[in-house]
Amino acid sequence: MLVSAYTGFYAGGIVKKRCDAIRECVSLVQWFSSSIAYADEPLSGIIRGAVSSGEFKQLTFLQEVVESDLDLGFSQVWNSAIDEQKALDSKASVLLKSFGAKLGKSDANDQLELCAYYKKEFERLLAFAMQKQNEQIKLYRITGSAIGALLFIIFV
């Protein structure tokens, strides 16, 4: 019974990590926005600053971007690093790839508008993910406990 209940809690934990990763995406876009607005730094410097801040523990792809050879092209490095990211669902990955593809391609004002747009998109995705998280965690916990109780009844 405990194993089944634990499985339910474990599955709920995976869903929670996805929400945490999306929450960090919102913070990352805000980080870019602040850095673009107040610091005259290249994109690679902004990403290095984000990694060294320690704020983005779920977004491990940032470290990979910093360590990669940007001569291959920023978009290619960004996309391949996101493909390796395990904590993100497909919608968040697509949004991050789209955001990365447009970074550094226009003036500061357009970059700030881009950041504002993607921040809203990630906030919408986060709201949806949190709603889904609440539903799934309840489902996983109830199902795990029910299966555990059923197994207990069968074996006793």
Please report the pLDDT score of residue 5 as a whole number: 56
Overall average pLDDT of the 23-49 stretch: 90
Per-residue pLDDT, 126: 93
Report pTM.
Answer: 0.80
HSE value, Cβ hemisphere, 13 Å, CA-based, for 84: 12
Higher model confidence: residue 21 or residue 6?
21
Question: Considering only 49-58, 59-68, 140-149, which range has the smallest mean pLDDT?
Answer: 140-149
In 3D, which of 33, 23, 24, 8 has the Cα closest to residue 128?
23
- Of 87-96, 116-125, 132-141, where does mean pLDDT reach its minimum? 132-141
